[in-house]
């Protein structure tokens, strides 16, 4: 098996909902917008891998490596993942990784109170068990969602270890992946994650993850409602197919004719 040598876009999502509070909207995508993104990825020939699969791909241990991998990650564990994201992922045959803040399971997103989003329902343990059974990789995202780089070393280590153990005990699965709350990390935090027994950790980074990247500081792009077509192609590193270009042209030609007909004028 050959080692992975190409860059892989890792997309970061949070909530998939129609009703995101105003100041939380840049971390949110509507179910319709999310479905459009999945359709677009499928049209571009992308195959969604979990983070664990990407790590195996990079180590040369994944059978049948896809030509065009993409990784979809969801932070925090919002209940709308079960309601909206999972059914859409299943329709498109896409896999994903979900990073869970264990202290908020079955509760609400109280740590987001400061931006008016503290009331959002979080996944419960029954839903998490169901997701794990359906091929969603469950990763850890601390117990209480602190900025780990600002905590004393012992407290940061406790947050990291407790979230892993809680998920493993409650769900009976091995938890190998971690994501830093807010994307914040430091050399000490990265070491604590490695020493806790994780094999990878996602940050933010706003760039496409390179095969030689530190597995404890994986770069992710933020995906939101506006990440459609051209913006999504830019993140995926894909180019429109000639069919898509043709369809876009026909669509704009049809619109130009309609606008001329309805408004009696036409401008570029």
Residues at the site binding Zn ion, with contacts judged by CB under 5 A: 75-76, 181
Nearer to Zn ion, 166 or 238 (CB): 166
Nearer to Zn ion, 142 or 208 (CB): 142
Q: CB–CB of 96/73 below 8 Å?
A: yes
Nearer to Zn ion, 56 or 145 (CB): 145
Nearer to Zn ion, 12 or 236 (CB): 12
- Of 100, 118, 98, 96, nearest in space to 109 by CA: 118
Nearer to Zn ion, 181 or 199 (CB): 181
Q: Which H/E stretch holds residue 247?
A: helix 242-263
Nearer to Zn ion, 57 or 160 (CB): 160
Distance CA 108, CA 89 (A): 24
Question: At its nearest, how many Å lie between Zn ion and the CB of residue 172?
Answer: 24
- Of 213, 203, 200, 198, nearest in space to 183 by CA: 203
Q: Measured between alpha carbons, how far is residue 248 from residues 44, 48, 229, 259, 267 in Å? A: 15, 25, 10, 16, 18
Task: Give the tokens for residue 116.
Answer: 């008016």
Q: Closest residue (Cβ) to Zn ion?
A: 75
Helix axes of 187-195 and 153-171: crossing angle, nearest 10 degrees: 30
Three-class SS state of 268: coil
Residue with tokens 């709308």: 80
Question: At its nearest, how many Å lie between Zn ion and the CB of residue 141?
Answer: 6
Q: CB–CB of 48/95 below 8 Å?
A: yes
Nearer to Zn ion, 57 or 71 (CB): 71
Q: CB–CB of 115/159 below 8 Å?
A: no
Question: At its nearest, how many Å lie between Zn ion and the CB of residue 145?
Answer: 6
- Of 40, 8, 69, nearest in space to 244 by CA: 40
């Amino acid at each position: 098996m050959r080692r992975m040598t190409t860059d892989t876009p890792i997309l970061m999502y949070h909530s998939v909902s129609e009703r995101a509070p105003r100041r939380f909207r840049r971390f949110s995508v509507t179910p319709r917008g999310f479905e459009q993104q999945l359709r677009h990825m499928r049209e571009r020939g992308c195959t969604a891998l979990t983070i664990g699969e990407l790590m195996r791909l990079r180590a040369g241990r994944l059978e049948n490596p896809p030509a065009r991998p993409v990784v979809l990650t969801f932070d925090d564990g919002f209940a709308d993942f079960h309601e909206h994201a999972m059914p859409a992922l299943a329709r498109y045959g896409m896999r994903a990784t979900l990073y869970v803040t264990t202290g908020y399971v079955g509760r609400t997103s109280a740590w987001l109170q400061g931006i008016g989003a503290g009331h959002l329902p979080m996944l419960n343990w029954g839903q998490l068990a169901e997701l794990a059974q359906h091929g969603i990789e469950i990763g850890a995202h601390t117990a209480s969602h602190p900025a780990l780089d600002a905590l004393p070393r012992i407290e940061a280590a406790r947050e990291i270890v407790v979230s892993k153990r809680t998920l493993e005990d409650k769900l009976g699965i091995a938890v190998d992946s971690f994501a830093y709350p807010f994307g914040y990390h430091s050399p000490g935090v990265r070491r604590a994650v490695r020493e806790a027994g994780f094999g990878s950790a996602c940050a933010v980074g706003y760039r496409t993850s390179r095969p030689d990247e530190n597995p404890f500081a994986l770069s992710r792009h933020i995906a939101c409602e506006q990440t459609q077509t051209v913006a999504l192609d830019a993140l995926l590193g894909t180019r429109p197919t000639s069919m898509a270009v043709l369809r876009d042209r026909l669509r704009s030609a049809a619109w130009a004719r309609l606008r001329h007909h309805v408004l009696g004028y036409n401008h570029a």
